[in-house]
Amino acid sequence: FTFYLLLLATTLVYVALLAVYVPGHLASLDLGLIGATYVGLVLVGGAATAIGVLAASLTQRQIVAFFLALAMLLITWYASPLIGFLTQPPSSQLFQYAGASNRFQSFSLGQVTLKDTVYFLSLGFAALFLTATLLSARRRR
């Protein structure tokens, strides 16, 4: 996660360059939109990292862990809207509500909402809790 944050921090150079070289400097940049998007990226990256750690704890092989994490992330991101599209209300509304892709949309629009923040935090904490439980059970054996 720290490596992800460092990679994300390097993109702040582009924001600084825009602030310096765009006519009107900071007045023409929507810093609220930029900040909200970065908050969303940190939350999504944290949840994705936690899901990756969970996948790595489920198997001993790195390549299997990669594909397992990829499948888990794709299901989290795309399955809910797809299943919600294919089913009838009210179950379709439930699946669309639970999808991660719908949750990131508010951040990309410049809104840091509590429900979306809690969603990504609880997704990450749930993955970390399952990882800790799995490793603790494995250690007891």
Quick: pLDDT tens for 111-138.
999 999 999 999 999 999 999 999 999 8
Q: How much is the pLDDT for 97? A: 74
Q: How much is the pLDDT for 31? A: 84
Give residues with Cβ within 8 angstroms of 68, minimum separation 6.
55, 58, 59
Quick: pLDDT tens for 49-69.
999 999 999 999 999 999 999
Tokens 């765009």 correspond to 22
> What SS3 state is found at 102?
helix
- Using only C-alpha atoms, the chain has a radius of gyration, in whole angstroms, of 18
Tokens 């862990």 correspond to 65
**Tokens matching residue 129:** 């809790």
Quick: pLDDT tens for 10-63.
999 988 888 888 776 666 778 889 999 999 999 999 999 999 999 999 999 999
